[in-house]
Amino acid sequence: MEFGWNPEEQAHRTSIRALLAETLPPNWEEVSVHGPGSDAQTAYSKQFCALLAERGLLIPHWPAAHGGEDAPVWHQFILGEEMWAAGEPRGAQYMNVNWVGPVLMRFGSPAQLEKHLPPVRRGESIWCQGFSEPSAGSDLAALRTTATPVEGGYRVSGAKIWTSYAGKADTCFLLARIPAGAGGASGKAAIVILLTDMRSEGIQVKPIPSLIGEGDIHEVFFDEVFVPAADRLGAEGQAWEIINFALQNERVGIARYEFSARTLDRAVARLKAEKRWDDPVIRDRAARALMLCEAARMLVYRVVDGKARDLPPDAFASVARWAVVQADNGVNDFMTEFLPDGLLGADPVQQAHHQRAIAAGIASGAAEIQLNLIARRWLGLPGEPARL
Binding residues for ligand FAD (CB under 6 A)? 128-129, 131-132, 137-138, 162-164, 212, 217, 359, 362-363, 365-366, 368-369, 372, 386
**263 vs 355, beta carbon nearer ligand FAD:** 355
Query: Using CB atoms within 10 A of its CB, is residue 7 exposed (0-12), middle (13-18) or buried (19+)?
Result: exposed
- Measured from the CB atom, the residue of 305 and 368 that comes closer to ligand FAD is 368
- The answer to whether 300 touches 322, Cβ cutoff 8 Å, is no
Q: Least separation, in Å, of the C-beta of 329 and ligand FAD?
A: 13
Q: DSSP labels for 285-345?
A: HHHHHHHHHHHHHHHHHHHHHHHHTTPPP-THHHHHHHHHHHHHHHHHHHHHHH-HHIIII
- C-alpha closest to that of 219 among 211, 228, 210, 230: 210
* Minimal distance, residue 148 CB to ligand FAD, in Å: 21
Q: Kindly tell me which of 219 and 333 has the beta carbon lying closer to ligand FAD.
A: 219
Residue nearest to ligand FAD (CB): 137
96 or 129, CB closer to ligand FAD? 129
Our CB check for ligand FAD shows the closer of 30 and 219 to be 219
HEC string for 162-190: CCCCCCCCCEEEEEEECCHHHCCCCHHHH
Minimum gap (Å) between residue 133 Cβ and ligand FAD: 8
User: Measured from the CB of residue 28, what is the shortest distance to ligand FAD in angstroms?
Assistant: 21
Strands (E) in the chain, as ranges, are 127-130, 146-150, 153-161, 171-177, 191-197, 203-207, 218-228, 232-233
Distance of closest approach, residue 372 Cβ to ligand FAD, in angstroms: 5
Residue at 163: amino acid letter: T
Q: 318: closest CA among 226, 245, 248?
A: 248
Please identify, using beta-carbon distances, which residue of 165 and 338 lies nearer to ligand FAD. Answer: 165
Q: Is 28 helix (H, G, I), strand (E, B) or coil?
A: helix
d(CA 322, CA 368): 8
Among candidate residues 79, 111, 109, 82, the one with its CA nearest the CA of residue 97: 79
- Least distance between ligand FAD and beta carbon 222 (Å): 14
Nearer to ligand FAD, 192 or 386 (CB): 386
Smallest distance, Å, CB 71 to ligand FAD?
27
Q: What's the one-letter identity of residue 85? A: A
Closer residue to ligand FAD, CB minimum distance, 16 or 212? 212
Q: How many CB atoms lie within 10 A of CB 189?
A: 15
Q: How far is the CB of 375 from ligand FAD (least distance, A)?
A: 10
Other beta carbons within 10 angstroms of residue 29's beta carbon come to: 16
Nearest to 77 by CA among 215, 258, 233: 258
Q: Minimum CB separation from ligand FAD for residue 204, in Å?
A: 17
**Of the two residues 211 and 344, which places its CB atom closer to ligand FAD in the complex?**
211
Closest CA to 15 of 23, 26, 25: 23
